[in-house]
Chain A
């Protein structure tokens, strides 16, 4: 591809006949920012409520809070009441019991962390009082283990952010990197907020796979942002500097729409399958990814790129004030506002 010199008469049409686009994303920036802000406020409110009711912004699962989880399949249907009475003997009546509503034969019991002897004693009592069972799952996580996991999870998110900023600064420019990270923060915080809401409403808990999901969301979302940025950078090189940055961004977004949409779809199809058909462990994981990926695509198109335009406009306005039109080959369009 060679860049042609722009003829002064009709520059844009001559160089790029397809500079007409269908959606003017940038013009409605305020709307997108408002939508995100509303979701953010909902999320933060949910987190505040969670903090008030469980002491943590999200409902923490066993992995982080510590505790003992038993998944038992009984030979006969049982009742929650029977189980609670058996647990009462060990002063564990406050445990969370979930009974499979279809068969009444499978029970999930969540207790404070028990030692091996204590757990065996509890199992023996259940066997004796409630009936014989097959043990599907035992999970005991000490409280210190959980804290360590949480810390390494937060650390992993922060380090990923740092690496991404460095890489994007090298490949693009610092301001691209900063807004890509802002978009990522948007995705992470909003996902957490929505899960706080799910925790309050349907009792959804977050476990170590949630941290994995967050990191994957970061990877995918930045992926999407990068593809759009890449296009903006390329168009910036090909299109006359006289065309405003906002126009270029709009064009780039329109050119990458099909790709963004199709990629999201092809990634989400398997996730939807897992969310519906997959085992219990993966369901929450798949839901977190679905929420996060949707937010990721949204933020790449509607947050990261408009923010970049807004920033460049601010900057160019300042430069115009400072430098004035003294023939400086300013890389930024001075007539940016469209």
Chain B
């Protein structure tokens, strides 16, 4: 306990405390700010989808196994899109949560993810030139595909790989090159041998839609097409050929899926939101800083320093923990600054009371901290409880808010109790700062 102006020993202790705080802050800031800020979809732009798996005739129940299959296929398809930092995760029993930050063409991505992509080579039963055609002159499978084509069990499962292939000379259309596994190659050879020279075509179906119906030349009648590769031709652009190859490579989805939620934010809107929210946040915090100094004088100034340290540490911690900044996250952060101020306000009000009762400055400060502690603890715990519930039950944006508010409260608990205290006591080491009126208390009330 120090009674008077502070012995050399105590000053050294505070100096050490100060240095420790400084070191922690510098370390936090260095680590935190050397990383790039992770912006959420609402700030950066991008697409967030919730996909629901639907039971079909073959897959009558969506089991965890089926969901894992769906997840794997979707993951592979997304990899084919070349999105940076995509997120795919199973949520609930039959849902898949997909985040695609900064996707330029969300519609294409959604189309790519949604198809089951069940590839099926079927054997034509009628001459190719009698097949029905649509208004664009493309061959279709007509009303009853089963009357025109026969299943031969050569499906996408037997594929090893698929690539987009540049147009051949004299054509505009890209193609998709397929590589079969040995069993698939065998069936393909047999299928082509059966069809060669008959005028009937191979029906290449994707999700039961005929996408191409090539005719096999008579020269393959004896051997069939060997080598285990095939080419799908059609009206492909470089993108559609690539997307089909991606789908085929990833394999078919084990269940049908449906987009039940789609939130797509354009990049410009995100940018505007960031700027506006940042301005608002900084503006609000500056006002708080001014208020603290105006009302609490010296302690207010010290609280402002502690708040700055708080803000830096919290931000650095977000970075370290890889918290993604979303709009609600920023709101949570700004609110947590309000909470951090609260702890200081509680302490300073107590200090003022003690001073008014005529206690010494040192005694008042240490009493102020001691007596405010239980209020700070109780109020922080209750808010943390709510944060916990939000984190547990919330999804997406709500979770982000809970995390940022929660971290903020924990850090503020630390900074309000340690930084403010150390700085206040250090300030008391300076004789000219040891005046009650610097603590917002009128002279006549206090005695020395």
Contact = CB atoms under 8 A, between A and B. Distances in A.
A139 interface: yes
B50 interface: yes
Interface in B234-273: 259-266, 268-269, 272-273
A234 B50 CA distance: 52
Contacts of B272: 279
B378 to A, nearest CB: 5
A222 B357 CA distance: 29
B327 A216 contact: no
A212 B398 contact: yes
B1 interface: no
Contact of B397 (A141, A209, A258): A209
A190 B379 CA distance: 22
Given A135-B266, A258-B349, A230 B276 contact: no
Nearest to A263: B342
Contacts of A153: 393
Interface in B338-368: 338-339, 341-342, 345-346, 349, 353, 356-357, 367
Interface stretch (B25-33, B129-137, B146-154, B383-391): B383-391
Interface in B99-114: 106-107, 110-111, 114
Contacts of B382: 164, 167-168, 219, 222-223, 226
B379 A226 contact: yes
Contact of A160 (B367, B389, B395): B389
A262 B283 contact: no
B390 A215 contact: yes
B414 interface: no
Nearest to B47: A138
Interface stretch (B16-24, B158-166, B171-179, B287-295): B287-295
B67 interface: no
A137 to B, nearest CB: 6
A269 B288 contact: yes
B389 A163 contact: yes
B315 to A, nearest CB: 15
B346 A227 contact: yes
Contacts of A132: none
Contacts of A139: 262-264
B327 A270 contact: no
Contact of A136 (B265, B280, B387): B265
A51 interface: no
B322 interface: no
A56 interface: no
Nearest to A17: B357
A168 to B, nearest CB: 8
A156 B268 contact: no
Interface string A208-240: 110110011011101110110011001000000
Contact of A272 (B284, B346, B388, B389): B284
B210 interface: no
B433 to A, nearest CB: 22
Given A226-B378, A278-B277, A138 B353 contact: no
A267 B339 contact: yes
Contacts of A227: 346, 375, 378-379
Nearest to A159: B389
A278 B276 contact: yes
A27 B273 CA distance: 48
Given A134-B268, A141-B261, A279 B292 contact: no
A194 B262 CA distance: 30
B106 A270 contact: no
A262 B440 CA distance: 14
A213 B369 CA distance: 31
Interface string A137-179: 1111110110001001101100110011001100100000000
Interface in B67-120: 106-107, 110-111, 114
A206 to B, nearest CB: 14
B331 interface: yes
B288 A270 contact: yes
A286 interface: yes
Contact of B393 (A155, A224, A270): A155
A265 to B, nearest CB: 7
Interface residues of A, number: 72
A115 B259 contact: yes
A234 B387 CA distance: 28
B381 A281 contact: no
A223 B353 CA distance: 21
A96 interface: no
Given A141-B261, A208-B397, A274 B379 contact: no
Contact of A282 (B265, B327, B380): B327
Most chain A beta-carbon neighbours within 10 Å: one of B110, B280, B292: B280
Contact of B261 (A145, A216, A220, A226): A145
A163 B349 CA distance: 29
B269 A136 contact: yes
A100 to B, nearest CB: 13
Contacts of B342: 223, 263, 266-267
Contacts of B341: 263, 266-267
Most chain A beta-carbon neighbours within 10 Å: one of B380, B383, B387: B383
Contacts of A13: none
A285 B277 CA distance: 12
Interface in A269-298: 269-274, 276-279, 281-282, 285-286, 289
A141 B395 CA distance: 14
B307 to A, nearest CB: 10
Contacts of B331: 274, 282, 285-286
A58 to B, nearest CB: 18
Contacts of A267: 335, 338-339, 341-342
A31 interface: no
Nearest to B264: A138
A156 to B, nearest CB: 4
B432 interface: no
Contacts of A136: 265-266, 268-269
Given A230-B375, A281-B327, A138 B262 contact: yes
Given A140-B263, A227-B378, 13 more contacts: A115-B259, A139-B262, A139-B263, A156-B394, A215-B386, A266-B288, A267-B338, A268-B338, A270-B281, A270-B285, A274-B331, A278-B277, A279-B273
Interface of A: 1, 18, 71, 73, 115-116, 120, 134-142, 144-145, 149, 152-153, 155-156, 159-160, 163-164, 167-168, 171, 208-209, 211-212, 215-216, 218-220, 222-224, 226-227, 230-231, 234, 255-256, 258-259, 262-263, 265-274, 276-279, 281-282, 285-286, 289
6 contacts: A222-B379, A259-B345, A263-B338, A263-B345, A270-B280, A282-B273
Ordered nearest first, which 7 A-B pairs have the shortest CB separation?
A270-B284, A267-B338, A273-B284, A142-B260, A279-B273, A219-B386, A277-B280
